[in-house]
Amino acid sequence: MAISNANRSYWLMVTPVERGELDGGRHFATWEDPHPKPSYLFALVAGNLHSVEDHFTTMSGRNITLQIWVEKDNLDKTEHAMASLKRAMVWDEQAYGREYDLDLFMIVAVNDFNMGAMENKGLNIFNSAAVLTHPQTATDAAFQNVEGIVAHEYFHNWSGNRVTCRDWFQLSLKEGFTVFRDQCFSADTNSAPVKRIQDVSFSVRHSLLRMLAPRRTLFALTTLLKLPTSTP
């Protein structure tokens, strides 16, 4: 795939092959994407972003370049996310025998991304709140949350991307298995009993919300429409 543009922004995509200058102040970049994928996993990012780079050696000895691309003011908040990514890569090799299958893995964090994070193949896209931390401003819970989200999106490389859904009726299977994997990772990396308590607490809270949802929705609608409510 080749794209050209007049802006001096960075183009990010999987496996860059070539980039250079064109006439008229334009520049271009060409990528090769070797793995078939459903359309929802395709991503391309262009913007005035800056990167932090590290490297990871896989269990077969391959060298993987790791990059986290952020807005300039957030460069000092990427250290924990990078360390979390490398821990997740080690764990996936040891627990599942799954080695990363490209030469480059990128995370992009922007302040106005409308989701928490997305597992696009080789180019995970995050809202800044889900990946950036700083020791002077973030809580322990925030550090743990970022570690879990970074791991979850990386684990999707195999459970969801390479091995993907037959159709959207399998969405819960793809997400459920990857959630199970990130829960096991967090339990192994931190405290298994504490992680279990957190997961049960989360399930109980959301079960209660689902039970209360019909009554809350009715109350909201009747308030909005100013209709009389009846009590059972």
Catalytic residues: 153
CA 113 vs CA 2, 81, 185: distances in Å = 25, 17, 26
Quote the CA–CA distance of 13 and 122 in Å, as a whole number: 8
- Phi and psi dihedrals of 5, rounded to 5? -160, 155
DSSP letters for 64-132: EEEEEEE-GGGGGG-HHHHHHHHHHHHHHHHHH-----SSEEEEEEETT-SSSEE--TTEEEEEGGGT-
Quote the CA–CA distance of 184 and 126 in Å, as a whole number: 22
User: Residue 37 in contact with residue 161, Cβ under 8 Å?
Assistant: yes
Quote the CA–CA distance of 93 and 204 in Å, as a whole number: 32
Instruction: Return the C-alpha torsion angle 119, 107, 129, 185, nearest 10.
Output: 60
Quote the CA–CA distance of 200 and 165 in Å, as a whole number: 27
Beta 123-127 vs 104-110: how paired, if at all? parallel
DSSP letters for 49-78: -EEEEEEEE-TTS-EEEEEEEE-GGGGGG-
